Structure formats: C-alpha cells, structure tokens
Amino acid sequence: MNNMFTPQGDPQAWMAKFADPNAWQSMMQMPQIPPMPQMDAASFAATVKEFGATIEPSVLARLQSDYMQEMGSLWQQMLTAKAPVIADKRFTSPEWQSNPMFAFNAAAYLLNARFLMAMADAVEAAPRAKQKIRFAVQQMVDAMSPANFLVTNPEAQQKIVETKGESLAKGIALMLEDMQKGRISQTDESAFEVGRNVATTEGAVVFENELFQLIQYKPLTKTVYERPLLLVPPCINKYYILDLQPENSLVRHAVEQGHTVFLVSWVNPDASLGNKTWDDYILDGVVKALNVTQEISGQEQINALGFCVGGTLLSTALALLTARGENPVSSLTLLTTFLDFSDPGVIEVFIDEAQVSMREQRLGNGGLMPGRDFASAFSSLRPNDLVWNYVKTNYLKGEQPPAFDLLYWNADSTNLPGPMFCWYLRNLYLENRLRTPGKVTVAGEKIDLSMIDAPAFIYGSREDHIVPWTAAYESVKLLNPKQRGRNKFVLGASGHIAGVINPPAKKKRSYWSADQASDSAEQWLAEAKETPGSWWPEWTAFLAANAGDQVPAPRKFGNATYKPIEPAPGRYVKVKAEKQGLASAFV
C-alpha cells in the first residue's frame, strides 16, 4: 500500500487505485466510513442497529417508495437523452451537462445522498446517537461524490485533454508534495512567512517561560489608554489569526485605537512538555501573563480578551484569582468561547465516555495530542469545503490553490500536552463542570465564574459550527448573574474564524446587538437590531469605556524587570508541529 500513489507500473492499474474512494479517504485521514450501501431498508436498518437505534418500518417503506419513483423519473430522462437539472455547486460547470451520462451520474448521486440523509433523520435513537449516525452518513455521502474521482469527473478529464496530460502530472506532483506534508494544501503556502507578511505588527517579546512568550506591541498613537489590553488566543492554534496582515489584524486595529496591546504567544509543545496540565496553563500561562502585563503597565487592572479556548482559560484564571481575593481586570471580552458546554455542536460526535477514556489511557499520564489530529477532525466537520474541494482542484485538475492568509494559518497546527487536553475533554466537554459553581477545582481553588467582577463583552458567530452562537450566549447568564446589564452580547455573521476577523474597512457582513440581555438566545435575537458591517467598532467602544484615561504612549518595551528579549513575532510562533507523511496512514 505504501506505493499506492506512486505513478509507476501498469498505468491502468494505477489509475484504478487513483480512483479508489477508500484510498482517498485513508490518505485524507478522514474517519473510516463503510462502502456505499444498497438502497434498501434492510441494509440501512442493519447499519443503524450498530448504534442501538431503530427505524420505523412504515417510514422506511415510504422513503423507499419515494426513492424508486424519483429514480424512475431519472431513468426516463436518461432514456430520452434529457439532462436532469442539477443545482448543487459541485456539478454546475458545463462539462457535467454536456454529456447526459455525467449529468445522470451526478443526479443519481444526489438522489442517493438525499435518501441516505432522510433515512438518517428518520432514525429513532437518543440525540447523541442520532447525531453520530447522521455525521457518519454525511461523511460517507460527501466522500462518494462523483466529483471526487477522476473516472467520474468530466471537468478533470476535459482538462487532461486540453492540457495534453499536464494537469494530471501537476495533480500527481501536488498530491505527492502533500503526502510529505501529511495534509492537504488549502493555499499556496510559499506565499506566506510568519514575520514577513503575516504576524507583522511591530512589537517585542518582553517575557517568556516554557509555556508562552508575552509580546508587547509598539504604540501607533501619541497617547494611549492607561489600562492595557491583554489578548489570550487559543492554545490549539497559532496566535497570528489575530494578526494576519495589516488590513485584517485585530491586534493592529486595537493599537490604532490607542490601546497598549500585550499578547500571549503559546508554545508549540514538544515531548519535553508532554506532562503539562490544565493547572499549568492557568498558573504559568494566563495568570503569569496577567501579572506581567500589570507590572509592566503599572496598572492594578487591565482589559483582557480571550478567543475560543483562550477565553475558557482566561475565564478560569480570573475565577481562580477572584477566589484568592484578586480582581485584575476592568473588562472581559470573550470571542466564540465556551463556558457552558451543554451544546458543543457537531464536535459532540467526537466526545463520549469511550472516546475520552481512550484518550486518557493513551495521553492522560503524558504525551502529545498532535496538531494534525485536530486539523483532521475539524476538516471532517466541513469535508466538502475543507477536504474534497481541494482533492478536486489540486489533484484531479492540477491547480495550485490560491494564496489565502487565513488558510495558511489554518494549516499551521499546534500540539497540546496530553494531560492538559484530557482534563479539558473530560471536565469541560464531557461533564460540563465549569458552568456549575464549585464543581471544578483548579490549582486548589473551587472555580465560580459568577464571582468574576468585570463587565463582559461576549461575541458569537451566527454560522459557527465549533462554538454554536447559542452556546456562546450562555456566558451572558454565567457572568455577572445579578447584574446582567454589565454584559453585552454581539452576534456576527459568518463562522468561527471569518466572523471574528471582519475589519471595518472591508465593509463586509453584518452583526446583531441589543440593549439588554434576554433569558434565551432566541428571544435575544428576536429583539436584536442588525447593523451592516463589522462588529469591531462596537467592541472598541466597549473597550474604551473601561480603559481609563489617556496618558502619553510608552516610549520603550517592557520595564527594568522585563526587558525586550527579541522582536515580535518571537520564536515560539515559528515552531512547526511534527510532520507525518500521509503515506504513514497505510503502515
């Protein structure tokens, strides 16, 4: 199997392997899926029994009858050489319509897909089991699209003819390059370099320990707010999602608004850090960053922002400090952050007792959760956009993906220490202990989020599949529960990342806001007002209200105790996660 993708030997045999969907699936490190089942009720019923589920026979009979009628109609169109109408964006190019056979193949696939998904929706099972069934069926349906294979993709075949085979050669070369990287290329990675054209806002590292570097950014205004802003990005990704390029950098935007910005650049752990725990990330990570920022700025209170799991870490750290009698922040901003994990969205398919226990056995006492595993899991949540789209364009059509800074960042994976990751999975995702006061203990203190004494700006993205916006809204109820008027919730358009990185100058998308919090997310949205453009000005107004007076901008980085170590972006962010070739999946 190791030479499956090596263009040697019998060309026909090799092309057969090239078109094998199971080979593609293995190479992409997608979750294992069964072969496409026969379109009958009995086979599907046998499949769902593995999940302890059932399907009402009358519902199956109705679905099967509808399927046969629609398939009969398709056959009639085929016999009369009438191409069926196809609206799916995967099959809109002229090549799919120019040959009735290809059009029929696409239409039959879409019919099969609708039938399989309808059967998945008809399953009678517990909500968690039903979600897993639907996810597994969706993976299979997406993987089996005729657009994904050379022998059934007329666009790719036409391009081979037009380029006299050059597109196929380029596709093979791109695939072999990706096999060495251990992942699919979603952008032209040669177009970017950290510190050269991403993560370029001027600053200096003013503190470092084994878990993070603290970056202080150079002011761009003559005066600044007296209280600085500390940014805590997710440790599961590189920090520069907040500092991509000048025109879409949240860091630069905050600096331009007159804030002295500090930022946590998490280490990309290697084996020497494989025993680090959640407590370590709280104490030696967030708490230390808060303290150093206070000392350099000379301020008792600062503004703090956490993004995704960075927000979870930040909120936990603030609750811990509150339990110790400290109140280090004048405001708290949470971007697409879970504090209540009741509804973890589609990620729930990866979270159950069996899977968490398996991770604990492997990593609970030490080791690394590889960044490439995170990337694979997140890609499987949107496989058509993040996997099969690139299989079609990169490999089948031989097209180099265009340069896109966000996708370059997305491919720059980060590892996590096993004990820290396992604690996070069990206590937060699986058992949802953080939302209940005193149910979780960190560094010897019982954590109570309701005791954090700071106004909160809470942001969710409406199309977020990682942190559903309704789950982000639950933080409104957990923070300042007796003074909800101190909390402001804003809902942005788009997804987990694109919704957050939406600078005002782009004049894209929109956001929703309301004067008061409501008891439910749905009620809040019904009362909210939609405003065109970016939510960033709404946030900077909140930040300014909690940042104190204007003072002269600092003329140097750090102070007598914390002196500059190296220019931003620093060393830590440039460390790559360990690579593994795609071919190793077959070994």
Show which residues are catalytic.
308
Phi, psi dihedral angles at 95 (to 5 degrees): -60, -30
Helix (H) or strand (E) holding 321, with range, is helix 309-323
459 SS3 class: strand
Residue ranges of E strands in 434-568 = 441-442, 445-446, 456-461, 487-492, 510-513, 529-532, 550-552, 566-567
**Taking CA 229 as the corner, what is the angle to CA 226 and CA 233, rounded to the nearest 5 degrees?**
175
- Calpha distance 207→115 (Å, rounded): 57
Q: What is the DSSP string of 230-265?
A: EEE--TTS-GGGGSSSGGG-HHHHHHHTT--EEEEE
Residue with tokens 């029929």: 104
Asked whether the beta carbons of 239 and 568 are under 8 A apart, the reply is no
DSSP, res 189: G
State which amino acid sits at residue 10.
D
**Strand-pair category, 550-552 with 223-225:** antiparallel
The burial class, CB within 10 Å (0-12 / 13-18 / 19+), for 97 is middle
Residue 288's nearest CA partner among 300, 297, 280 is: 280
* Pure H helices in 483-579: 521-527, 536-545
DSSP, res 344: -
